[in-house]
Structure 1
Amino acid sequence: MKIETKEVNDIVIFELDGEVDLETSPTLRKNLLKHVNVGKSVIVGMNGVAYIDSSGIASLVEAYQTSRRNSSGFVLAAISDSAMRVLQLARLDKVFTIQATIDDAVRSLNS
């Protein structure tokens, strides 16, 4: 998995590419928590995610819960079909805020 990170108007945007699995999810978890623990809003772009397993989902859920406690935003955006199927199976598509594009996610956090 490759993680590209950028910051726009105090929002940290992560763009994921590849497989989010038991081997790579600890890196994702560490990166996400580093930002949500200090109250930054986070967008996770998932267009390039070819595969995500339960450890990857757990990393997203933990970061989401932490962001809620810190009253910061957490949005998933541009989710690949395979990743969306996993989120839907776990019914997490009803829990996470999901936007079609990263630009839409930025707009939703700025409004």
Structure 2
Amino acid sequence: MAEADIADTGPNERPEPLSVVSTDVDGIRVVTLSGEIDHDTGDTLRRALETSGVPRPRTVVDLHQVTFMDSSGINIFIAAHRALSEAGGWLRLAAVNESVMRTLSIVGLDVIVDCRDTVDQALGD
């Protein structure tokens, strides 16, 4: 019996970690994300969206550099939307790329959470 040749596909590529930059624009928190939102990065996103103790919290999430999102991200955004709404604030998603928007649309999150084409639009009324 001959041994099978195993192709070397190179090193396993790990998904890009999620990076978060949070700024404040006229009292609205802007959370800029870069990378992938999945089971492994969900806690990072959850912490970034935490607003306990903030009166009428308003948050815009800039997703233009997010390359992938699975159901973990969907669930986190639903929970954040609910928490911000209950506190008298809101959550808006901005600059969502086509592949992530397709995911949002399939599950109907784009109907629940306000999605805008740009961060500037999301910051407006």
Give me the TM-score of the superposition, normalised by structure 2.
0.81
* Deviation (angstroms), 1:15: 0.9
Give 1:73-92 correspondences, 5 Å limit: 73-92=90-109
% identical equivalent positions: 30
Alignment coverage as a number of residue pairs: 107
Q: Which residue of 1 aligns with 2:74?
A: 57
Q: Return closer, same or farther for 1:37/1:59 CA change in 2, 3 Å cut-off.
A: farther
Could you say what the CA RMSD is over the residues aligned between the two structures, in angstroms?
Answer: 1.2
Structure 2 gap segments, 5+ residues each: 1-17
Larger Rg: 2
The structure richer in helix per residue is 1
Deviations 1:34-63 (A, max 9, x none): x26523200001111100011111111110
Distance 2:27 2:90 in 1: 11
Q: 1:67 aligns with which of 84, 93, 96?
A: 84
Distance 1:92 1:60 in 2: 8
Structure 1 gap segments, 5+ residues each: none
Question: Of the two structures, which has the highest relative contact order with CA contacts closer than 8 Å and spacing of 6 or more?
Answer: 1
Q: Which residue of 1 aligns with 2:48?
A: 31
Deviations 1:47-103 (A, max 9, x none): 111000111111111100001101102100000111101001101111111111001
